[in-house]
Structure 1
Amino acid sequence: MRHFIIAILMLLYGFALIGQNRVVNGYVTTLGNLHVANLKVSARNAGSAVSTDSTGFFFIVTNERDVLEFSSDVFKKRRVRINNRLPDTLKVAIEFVDSPENRQIAVGYGYMNEKDIINSISQMDRKRNDFCQYSNVFDLIRGRLPGVQVVGGGREPEVIIRGIGSITLSSCALYVVDGVVVNTIGHISPCQISSISVLKDSSASMYGSRGANGVVVIETIKGPQ
């Protein structure tokens, strides 16, 4: 199989030289290091389109100055501009828009398998939980999500995902509400919450160093649907 792929790449490279095009290949990942299969990759100017294989690998003919688009309803659209500084082999990370419906779609279309999603994300949603029975968001989180602790008192305790790793530095998780990083979540009423997801380990790496202590992702009823 690998020899076949190399032969195809060489053939495409020959066509690229003739037409002043360029062959680009790479891998598509999400939630840190999960490979995304069956995802459509298209070159907007060249008009070519392919799908990633079971390992997230793709190769595609593009123009010398083109835009690659990685698209699906369950991922945020990602565009990569082709230019002289871009290497021929790419690693493209795309953001999974987590919801119960999107999990079903992702599994159904073969983008990821259910086990990988469950291992990467812990989630509660209002369709299966009565969020309004809790007095505040921290009582809602406390003891309901595996590996998550609420530490401290007052109106703004800390949500700890990986355990307290430092006495002097904060181990508090990063908070993302409706796609925006915020400093506090104490003001959010449980009745306003549509879902809560917890990202940890490699699945939090999409937020860079800010997600080193894990990420609490909250979608509100007024947020994106």
Structure 2
Amino acid sequence: MLTETDTVTAAIVVIGDEVLSGRTRDTNSGHIAETLTRLGVDLREIRVVPDEQAAIVEAVNALRARATYVFTTGGIGPTHDDITADAIAAAFGVGIDHDPRAVAMLRERFSDPADLNEGRLRMARIPFGAELIANPISKAPGFRLENVIVMAGVPAIMRAMLDQVAPTLKTGEPILSETVRADAKEGDIATPLAAVQRAHPEVSIGSYPFIEGNRFNTNLVIRSRDPAALAAAKAAVAEMLSGLPRS
């Protein structure tokens, strides 16, 4: 099994006033999380920050110091409030300018020079030393600087960029999971479930209540990278549930 120091970890910074205001619903984080889980990468934190350079710099610098990867979404478009590229450059203390590689990508879409206006050229401003992330949908690239991966906020474009990035990431052992339907209220199983968790510290056991018809019920989700530990914990959960009094 991987040790804590071997575990590949990640964090996400969602950038945008529109997310904080509720105007735009963040679906990117969920997709990134699902992708990372398949790759055996532990997502440790998600932050949502406004379109303010100081907030972006603080979040990125804090997270890149303790995660293997930091993914950002949003703020790399053509308008005045798209400041992510400048904020990443500031976070790393490097310069930023129009990148000839990015300009060439944009010219593939905007063949008429008149269409490649000042606003669109903003999308070719890349921090010095960054690698580009291809964008097969609209051509404007994302970029990667050390362990920080900067992607668009538009979900379809973000997913296309993530598809480009995913094969290049370090991977870990996939996290396995089993779901057990408790057929019991969460409050009724809290104490015995805690005892099962203490007896199986190498697994994570979460309880997720739901309502079915007019009755409360609970799903128990058991997670581990070790198949044997997962099976043992699942068996212990099943035994615990079988001993509950039924109304």
Same-fold call, TM > 0.5?
no
Greater C-alpha Rg: 2
TM-score with structure 1 length normalisation? 0.25
Q: Would you tell me which structure has more strand in proportion to its own residues?
A: 1
TM-score with structure 2 length normalisation? 0.24
